[in-house]
Amino acid sequence: MSAVIQHNTNAGGTTVLAHGHAGRTIAFGPGGPVSLGTFLQQVRSLAAMLPNGRHAINLCEDRYCFLVAFCAVALRGQVTLLPPSRAPAVIDDELRRHADSYCLGDGALQPEPPRYLRLPEPFPLQDGGPLLLDDAALAAIGFTSGSTGSPLPNPKTWRSFRASTFQNLAALQDLWPADVTAHLVATVPPQHMYGLEMSVLLPLLGNVAVHAARPFFPEDVAQALRDATAHRLLVTTPVHLRALVASGIVLPSLAGIVSATAPLSRELADAAEQRFGCEVRELFGSTETCVIARRRTAREDAWTPLPGVSVQPQPDGSVVHAPHLPLPVTLGDLVEVAADGRFSLCGRNGDLLEIAGKRASLGDLTRKLQAIAGVVDGVVFQHDDLDAGGVRRIVALAVAPDGDAARIVQALRCSVDPVFLPRPLKLVAQLPRNGTGKLPREALMRLLQGSVQ
């Protein structure tokens, strides 16, 4: 894969939009396969229809429509914005922040955002020469999820995307034979950086075809996998993987399962491998860095950095060096690095608690809450306000249809020091997880301040 990608970058600094022969399959679905040649014709025609502007917000629900629109925007020399949410207020805010911006999508939206272009259906075809991009051009601006504060922008060039995609292909390629096409089904939205890396950039640059849908429920995932005719790769999150295992559903044979966006427990990874008969490969990354490491969670705790990546510990986090990063990136993840470069996570700097001379982490407290019988989902976090002693209170939200808050707190007392018990712990119908399973802090605070279930 390395030779192919490097060959597509010429001395003039331009690169082809997608590699491969015109007949290779780039996408598939219930309607059958879509060839690369057809895809490029559709990208060319849509690019000619786009309005003038500098930034575009891609609101497509259909993954193939997102892929066509993403590439058409790039062909026009515009930049795709990837807000952390598609809520109308968030979209309106980004339109105000970025001059000469517009929205495009594949359906009727209520309310319809300002400057909205609905994509044609079906896409028209337009012949022409090779589609080339400026390798140094800005391709997208991703935003952090907001789970630890306000979302922050992270610009990405085509050069950085191509380098990180080569690393991702190297990290995954051994899951299927090198001379065949992998058919990828993703449960994560393409607007998220992990979803963009796995379900948009891999099909553009690798021997990978992607399913057009974003299945959510277990039966939807199974049906999408049945649409595949080659080695199947499922790209998902711990939340979706837990639901698949619990459902008891039978999936077609898989080449592998890829998980990211939240910590994956060894128990769940092992259960999924036993249940679905394939390796579960967990990826570690962030919006700031893209994917930087991998591990087989069912068998190992340490992370193996991707080619060319190194992670260095700091007192308040870690520093990541990678070929696709123009500068080193500092993360809040605390790590221990072995002599061979592999690293172990020791929590996040912002998760560490110290109260009355005692220490704990919010991540560990959350895992203990989720392990209590009857708790379907839960999270432990700190309140924004200080208590009378000047300490931010520890609070929790739990989904426990047949439980009660007092019993859950009592169960926590068996494994949690009293100073770290949540006050209060509220029962809710569901947690406000976004499309990748993350929990934006603002949404948690709104739910905490609302009524108890």
Residue 351 included in any domain: no
Pick the closest to residue 378 from 391, 389, 365, 387 (CA basis): 365
Q: What is the pLDDT of residues 112-137, one digit of tens each?
A: 998 999 999 999 999 998 999 999 99
Q: Are residues 242 and 311 in the same domain?
A: yes
Residue 232 included in any domain: yes
pLDDT at 346 over 90: no
pLDDT at 355: 73
pLDDT at 305: 96
Pick the closest to residue 63 from 145, 186, 164, 180 (CA basis): 186
Angle at 365 between CA 374 and CA 406, to 5 degrees: 45
DSSP state at residue 201? I
Question: Taking the CB of residue 322, how many other CB atoms lie within 10 A of it?
Answer: 24
Entry pTM? 0.83
CATH of residue 407: 3.30.300.30
Which residues constitute the domain of residue 265?
A: 2-346
Average pLDDT for 421-442? 87
For residue 260, what are its two tokens? 């990211």
Q: How many domains does the chain have?
A: 2
* H or E element that contains 378: strand 377-386
Q: What is the pLDDT of residues 54-99, one digit of tens each?
A: 999 999 999 999 999 999 999 999 999 998 888 888 899 899 999 8
Name the domain boundary from 322, 346, 370. 346
Q: Kindly indicate the confidence band of residue 236, based on its pLDDT and cuts at 50, 70 and 90.
A: very high
CATH of residue 246: 3.40.50.12780
Residue 248 included in any domain: yes
Q: Kindly indicate the confidence band of residue 10, based on its pLDDT and cuts at 50, 70 and 90.
A: low
Angle at 134 between CA 128 and CA 136, to 5 degrees: 165
Q: What is the pLDDT of residues 22-65, one digit of tens each?
A: 999 999 999 999 999 999 999 999 999 999 999 999 999 999 99
pLDDT at 227 over 70: yes
Q: Are residues 363 and 270 in the same domain?
A: no
**Measured between alpha carbons, how far is 67 from 109 in angstroms, rounded to an integer?**
19
Interaxial angle between packed helices 266-276 and 238-247, expressed in degrees from 0 to 180 and rounded to the nearest 10:
50
Q: The tokens 């802090």 sit on which residue?
A: 441
Q: What is the pLDDT of residues 396-429, one digit of tens each?
A: 999 999 889 999 999 999 888 888 899 899 999 9
Q: Are residues 239 and 100 in the same domain?
A: yes
Residue 47 included in any domain: yes
